[in-house]
Copies of this chain bind each other. A is one copy, B any other.
Amino acid sequence: MDRMEYKQRLGRLQQKMQAQHIDGFVVTQNVDLYYLTGSMQTGYLIVPAEGEPLFLVRRSVVRAQQEASAVVEPLGSFRTFGERVAAAFPQLARGAKGEGRPSIRLAAEFDVLPVQLYQRLQHVMPHAEWVDGSIIIRETRMIKSSRELACIREAARVIDAAFEEALERLQPGMTELEVMAGIEYFIRRQGHIGTMRMRGYNQEVITGMLGAGAAAAEPTYFDGPAGGQGLGPAVPQSVSRRPIGRDEPILMDIGCCIEGYVIDQTRTVVIGNLAEDLAAAYETSERIIRSVESMLTPGTSCEQMYADSLQMAHEAGLGDHYMGYGDDQVKFLGHGIGLEIDELPVLARGFRYPLEPGMVIAIEPKFTFPQRGVVGIENSYAVTDSGFEKLTVSREGLIRL
């Protein structure tokens, strides 16, 4: 891939490092490594505040040399890590700033870096002051390039085809698991990488969630509005073995990952007829997403979008059902997507980011009715210079079979 693109990504990160007086960034996470180098091989990417980075690779060096845009060198013994870094970047060596000056500030991804590895890094670079660089690396990744958008568009095309194929197969009495297995089989043959990456500790995505009736409304640990019943306590989210019935809402919140990039969409389906109040709640979710679309333009505050949507839910008399029910509600309306399913920005209180061109956001107003099901819609959007591009291509509206 184009080396210029990696140069731009690194340049954006370096700008943020300079603004925070960070002298170097030791990048360790597979997805961040891939984003910044084009390679996911295991190692340490040392990014100085200015100049070229160095990728010290543990395994596979050969593969990293083929894949990475950055200079690759074998890591060798980890005990010599400090000397290797000092040799390549004298400005990061002990005492580089001179006697009595502040210490070298190094960043790492504290949101994913395990304590064990952190302590080893502290041990081999004891002179450094370590700071949390997770936000600046996530902010760098928040703005997508046209190449990244192209991958997400392709994922959107694949999941739409899988969705339509699933609708053709869907029959009452099929289990959620059967329907999802078919979707997974379809997307896999189209190049779904077999997993969807999620950054949050302990969080997993099992190709999304497909849930009907009461099973969809089961509360769960998953950090989303509708986690689903799951196959049991060992996977307490997503599909169950419950047969799908007539006249109950079927929430199909599915995604796939093509060339590393995920898409995320939700549609509500019913075989037969939906109770009037549930159908009305579905209509409210569409009204909310239309209203949110009207705000989807550079400059809008992320938290304002959530606040306004919550207000609309309350006005519709559905405040208790919005984004989960009761104690199990989540407090957001949407989330960034890209290489991971839980990227920035988050449309939630406390996220004051103004929208910027290049952000890609899954927006998912949903309503949960305990014992009855979940209804809602989710589209993924790219923010453009003048508004938005809807990346999701699946047909909207309550789908009645």
Contacts and interface: CB of A to CB of B under 8 A. Distances in A.
A320 interface: no
A29 interface: yes
A353 interface: no
Contact of A259 (B39, B112, B232): B232
B184 A231 contact: no
Interface string A229-257: 00111111011010000000000000000
A116 interface: yes
B193 A195 contact: no
Interface in A97-112: 108, 110-112
Interface in A151-198: 177-178, 180-182, 184-185, 188-189, 191, 193-195
A237 to B, nearest CB: 9
State the number of copies, please: 2
Nearest to A118: B115
A15 interface: no
Contacts of A363: none
A113 interface: yes
Interface stretch (A16-24, A81-89, A216-224, A285-293): A216-224
B114 A111 contact: yes
Interface string A114-129: 1111110000000000
Interface string A56-85: 001111110001000000100000000000
Interface residues of A, number: 69
B116 A220 contact: no
A236 B41 contact: yes
A53 interface: no
Interface stretch (A5-13, A201-209, A264-272, A380-388): A201-209
B63 A218 contact: yes
A201 B112 CA distance: 9
Contact of A114 (B201, B221, B231): B201
A210 to B, nearest CB: 11
A39 B29 CA distance: 28
Nearest to A197: B204
A368 to B, nearest CB: 12
The 7 closest A-B pairs by CB, nearest first: A234-B260, A60-B219, A110-B115, A194-B206, A193-B235, A185-B185, A30-B202
Interface of A: 28-30, 34, 38-42, 58-63, 67, 74, 108, 110-119, 132, 134, 177-178, 180-182, 184-185, 188-189, 191, 193-195, 201-202, 204, 206-207, 218-221, 223, 227, 231-236, 238-239, 241, 259-261, 327-328, 339
